[in-house]
Amino acid sequence: MAYLGAAYLWVKAAHVIFVIFLMAGLFMMPRFFVYHQETVPGSPEDKRWIEREGRLLKIILNPSLLLVWLFGLMLMVEIGAWSFGWFHLKLLFVLGLSGYHGWIAGYTKKLARGERPLSDKQLRMMNEIPGVAAAVIVIAVIVKPF
């Protein structure tokens, strides 16, 4: 433990806590999208979904993503993770989840504009992405296959 010292376990705990918050949001938002798409653009229900999605993004997803990266980078430096093969796999999937977060933010804006570019089935398939990524990340970190 090079620079974090006694704070290492606190930083690690914070990282895991905010990963849980982030994953919860990444699982919830596509479900919100499925229900939101059923509404008529401009209707009172549409406006309520726009508000819900905006709050989930601003209160949970955006801050969680920022804190996951902050604490994760601190841990990466602390343990010298760059030299481990498993870390590269984890980083690849974390970058993918970060991109997925960006897609979610963009799709939120499309729905707010009244656009409905994806079908309910496509959105349900998109909802599987964070689960698959989480499984790969957990296996990489716990099993350390390489």
Could you read off the pLDDT of 18-30 as tens digits, one per residue?
A: 999 999 999 999 9
Q: How far apart are CA 55 and CA 105, in angstroms?
A: 11
pTM: 0.94
88 belongs to an annotated ligand binding site: no
90 belongs to an annotated ligand binding site: yes
Q: Report the candidate in 70, 78, 75, 77 with the shortest Cα–Cα distance to residue 22.
A: 70
- pLDDT in the model for residue 2: 79
- pLDDT in the model for residue 119: 94
Weakly modelled stretches of the chain, pLDDT under 70: 1
Strand, coil or helix: 3 = coil
- pLDDT in the model for residue 146: 92
